[in-house]
Amino acid sequence: MKTKKPSIAIDMDGVIADTESHFITWYRKDYGVQINREDLIGKPESEAFPDKQAVWKFVNSPGFFRTLPVMPGAIETVKELMNDFEVYIVSAAMEFPQSLFEKHQWLQEHFPFISWKNIVLCGDKSIIDTDYMIDDHFKNLDFCKGKAILFHAAHNATTDRHQRVHSWEEVKTLLKKELELNVT
């Protein structure tokens, strides 16, 4: 008898896709000002840059979501997690509808091993019912029906809610421990 694998909802932006470095790169390119990650700590993304409209401008620009860098270790770890978990990529993409196609293309390029059936581009993540959710925003984790895992980002660095991970290596370690606890 085959047992059901536990499920994980994994966010895209700020979790498998490095939006922080991308915002910094685009800001330098458009405004000629170098911003350091340390300058972003504790500030909402929309308020982190000197021009408060920059983030809104970038996320509404063609190519922004398509050219996001992949978080270090994300591809390898997600592949490995798929051995023991049912993995879903979940992104609240409806706020920026033009991002839908770009996010789909990005996933096809960087995560081609994720089935289209396991990609959820939605408006409100509170509908997601998985055993685990990995996200960088409290607004999504606060309503998580399973175990909430906060992926570290500058904008969430000064608040302690939910279990925090700083890297994909930490994600792998945490979830392997969770599996061991559930087996014994």
Instruction: Name residues whose C-beta falls within 8 Å of residue 94's C-beta, 6 or more positions apart in sequence.
Output: 100, 121, 122, 123
> What are the distances in angstroms from CA 7 to CA 63, 70, 123, 177?
31, 22, 20, 15
The alpha-helical segments, DSSP class H, found in 82-167 are 99-110, 138-141
The alpha-helical segments, DSSP class H, found in the chain are 19-31, 54-59, 74-81, 99-110, 138-141, 168-183
**CA 171 – CA 166 distance, rounded (Å):** 8
List 13, 18, 131, 136, catalytic entry: 13
**Residue 154 near residue 49, CB atoms below 8 Å:** no
Any catalytic annotation for residue 160? no
Any catalytic annotation for residue 51? no
Q: Report the catalytic residues.
A: 11, 13
